[in-house]
Amino acid sequence: TKTGELSLRVKSFRMLAKGISPLPAAKEQVVDGERKVYSAFDNTEARYRERYADLAVNAEVRDIFRARAKVTTALRRFLDGEGFLEVETPILQPLYGGAAARPFVTHHNQLHQDLYLRISFELYLKRLLVGGLERVYEIGRDFRNEGVSFKHNPEFTQLEFYCAYTDYFGVMDLTERMLAKVCDDVLGAREFEYQGRRLNFNPPWRRVTIRDAVLEYSGIDLATHPAAESLAAAMRAKGHHPEPNSTRGKLIDSLIGHYLEPQFIQPTILMDYPRDISPLAKSKPGDPNTVERFEVYVAGFELCNAFTELNDPLDQEARFVEMGRDYAADDEEKHPLDEDYLRAMRYGMPPNGGFGMGVDRLTMLLTDKASIREVLLFPHLRTKEE
């Protein structure tokens, strides 16, 4: 123009897309001279149901999923650098196993066969160890037919790795290094704020046995209660109401949830679990009722689960049979007897350590989100009635 303003003279134009509905817009209001900006959505559930609109109007939401992509990239980069091979295992499986969860069931019409959406990668990944692939990992979807909560979604992303010729101590060291490196790559720091608390992922982390932690936080000495009946009585004396006929392992698991989880804010390795809730883990030498298993707790919830894997086919078969005898048919801890997995073990499975972690929960920590739904692009929601 004569005033020097850049202008565009339009001779013709073509519509690229029709925007029939306006995007929700943030609301502004001045209160006592102060400008306040309110969310474009009236409620949080609307954001999840219309994530496409949520992403379009909220730059901070787009940043969450950019960070999530960095998390999976960092995990792969670390494991690739440690000599692991990324593989893919079946999502549709003729038997489910590798975790304590109820599966989703589907049916193959042509084969006239019921199939299960996998609840874990474990049994297939360990078959690969038998085949000579000594360091393997997979990042993918698992499906568990269980409740929905701030840390549970029926469909979620899991990382599992298995490493031959190591044990749960070696996996502990690898876990500390891996998660510290992911913090470096995603945040540029190993110390950060999560829900008002400062977390420090610098190794080494605290390592404590279940027996010592339960004694410290509840006053119950598990060593003096070797039977389920005695432990249940001790729990009732402290005001608990354990489920009737619970195994000793399940009673200990409930103590962990009640007393220990809320105490573990900084990364903590809780180790040496009961055998009867760890059917795929190797027993500790000299203590057949305790296995070489650990879980990592951060910010009051479980992040990782790992153990020295059981590689004795006779012991593994006996445990499957024992669970079939001692557990109710609908008990989620019960594993079906997987004859093909046992067949693979009989060829000789090298001693190994395994690890599993929910990638969604790690992303929650690194993006300072209190709900798993915030880090899932399309979280599971109840069908909305029109």
Indicate whether 102 pLDDT > 60.
yes
- Structure-model confidence comparison of residues 4 and 189, the more confident one: 189
Residue 62 domain flag: no
The per-residue pLDDT for 299 is 98
Residue 151 and residue 277 in one domain: yes
- Structure-model confidence comparison of residues 287 and 384, the more confident one: 287
The per-residue pLDDT for 40 is 72
The per-residue pLDDT for 267 is 99
Residue 74 and residue 184 in one domain: yes
Strands (E), 275-375: 283-284, 287-298, 301-308, 352-358
Residue 53 and residue 101 in one domain: no
Q: 158: helix, coil or strand? A: strand
The per-residue pLDDT for 159 is 99
Residue 93 and residue 185 in one domain: yes
Q: Binning pLDDT at 50, 70 and 90, where does residue 33 land?
A: confident
**Mind listing the pLDDT tens digit for each residue in 318-375?**
998 988 776 665 566 566 789 999 999 999 999 999 999 999 999 999 999 999 999 9
The per-residue pLDDT for 332 is 61
Segments forming the whole domain that contains residue 98:
69-205+266-375
Residue 173 and residue 293 in one domain: yes
Core vs surface per residue 153-187: b (16+ CB within 10 A) or e: bbebbbbbbbbbebbbeebbebbbebbbbbbebbb
What's the mean pLDDT when you consider all of the chain?
94
How far is residue 265's CA from residue 368's CA, in Å, rounded to a whole number?
A: 14
Q: Binning pLDDT at 50, 70 and 90, where does residue 26 land?
A: confident
Residue 142 and residue 44 in one domain: no
Find out whether the peptide bond into 313 is cis, omega within 30 degrees of 0.
no
Phi, psi angle pair for 268, to nearest 5°: -135, 135
Residue 211 domain flag: no
Residue 123 and residue 155 in one domain: yes
Residue 218 domain flag: no
Residue 315 and residue 282 in one domain: yes
Residue 349 domain flag: yes
The per-residue pLDDT for 333 is 59
Residue 279 and residue 352 in one domain: yes
Q: Structure tokens of 88?
A: 């893919």
Residue 162 and residue 289 in one domain: yes
**pLDDT average, residue stretch 121-126:** 98
Residue 110 and residue 163 in one domain: yes
Residue 345 domain flag: yes
Q: How far is CA 263 from CA 48, 180, 182, in A?
A: 31, 21, 24
Residue 6 domain flag: no
User: How many domains in the chain?
Assistant: 2
**Mind listing the pLDDT tens digit for each residue in 104-118?**
999 999 999 999 999
Closest CA to 135 of 86, 172, 178: 86
Top mean pLDDT of 56-60, 194-198, 381-385 is at: 194-198
The edge-to-edge listing of strands for the beta sheet with 105-108 is: 92-93, 113-117, 105-108
Residue 44 and residue 107 in one domain: no
